[in-house]
Chain A
Amino acid sequence: MKNMCLFLAATMAIMSASWSGADEFSKYQQILPRGQIAAVTKPHYVTAKRAVIAGDSYVLGIVVEGQARAYSLNLLNNHEVVNDQIGDLPFAAVW
């Protein structure tokens, strides 16, 4: 009986969690076809000396394992996501 109660409680908890997500997803609105905003999946980089970027332009800067990288916010606006990796750490740059 105790096991049955636990099973029912667990099932109800899972259903509740699923419902919450389903409820949230019902508010999702597709605006553009998926893929129309092209994420960057194989990022390329230049050095600071070679970069053509205005001093007052904004960047998202990161430092991982001592390596610094900068992503122009204006480029991020166009691509939304940069899928990147430094060392063993894969990460997504989003702002």
Chain B
Amino acid sequence: MYDRRYDGKVLTFEASGGLIKSSLVLQDRETDSYWPIMSGKSIHGELAGTSMKEMTVNRKMTWSDWVSMHPETLVLSVNSIEDQADTYSHYFSSKRGFRNSRAKDRRLKTKTPIFAFRLKGKPYAVPYYEIVGGKQFNIGNRVAYFYRSPDQGLHDSTLAYIADADAACLVEESIIKSGECAAPLTGFDTFWYNWSLNNASTALLD
């Protein structure tokens, strides 16, 4: 999720039709700038060099989970269709990256699912298998907490929070769920190859 307000304009984003290092590149209709989402910064056009404004208001989960939490929700309907067949199931179950891309950084396998984020401009990633049941990491003077339940599917969002290391609170699941103490940490649930190809100096939390 991204804020659409940049440089005094409200931008209309669409897929550019192209990729950088196997990753989606958006383009906006107002300035024609190119915005690769994995690096998070425009690389060409009037707004080149501008960082994308990520938002922390979103979460992926099954429809049944979402509607039980938010029965009043509205649902996007395109041409009177709210859902359709999954055309990417083969990609998600395959060991290969998009268009046979592979991770150059071999610290993890190409399709290892990760949660990735930036902190003070520095890229970080943590593999899902490290955070099942919850785990926290000290990063400088901050503490980051991640949680995935054992029965979560690949598409379920990772819960990620960040707090000051000296905050007078426990960073644990019960605290996180109550929304106290720590702030949501914006990031990507993605595959290792997709993130690492676009963020070469990623620090791996494990």
Q: Which of B15-23, B107-115, B130-138, B161-169 contacts A (4 or more CB under 8 A)?
A: B15-23
B12 x A58 contact (CB < 8 A) = no
Question: Which one of B1, B18, B55, B57 lies within 8 Å of A29 (CB-CB)?
Answer: B18
What 3 A-B pairs come out closest when comparing CB atoms?
Answer: A55-B64, A39-B14, A45-B74
From A24, A38, A91, contact of B1 by CB (8 A): A91
B85-93, B117-125, B142-150, B170-178: which one contacts chain A?
Answer: B85-93
Task: Report whether B77 and A45 are in contact in the complex, using a CB–CB cutoff of 8 Å.
Answer: yes
Task: Please give me the residue from chain A that is nearest to B81 by CB atom.
Answer: A75
Identity of the chain A residue whose Cβ is nearest the Cβ of B154 in the assembled complex: A58
Question: Residues on A close to B: CB < 8 A?
Answer: 17-18, 21-22, 24-25, 27-41, 43-48, 50-64, 67-75, 77-83, 85, 89-95
Contact A73 B60 (CB under 8 A): yes
User: What would be 22 A-B contacts, judged by CB atoms less than 8 Å apart?
Assistant: A24-B36, A24-B39, A28-B19, A30-B17, A31-B18, A34-B16, A37-B14, A37-B15, A39-B14, A46-B77, A47-B75, A48-B73, A51-B83, A59-B66, A62-B58, A64-B57, A68-B72, A69-B74, A78-B87, A80-B24, A94-B1, A94-B13
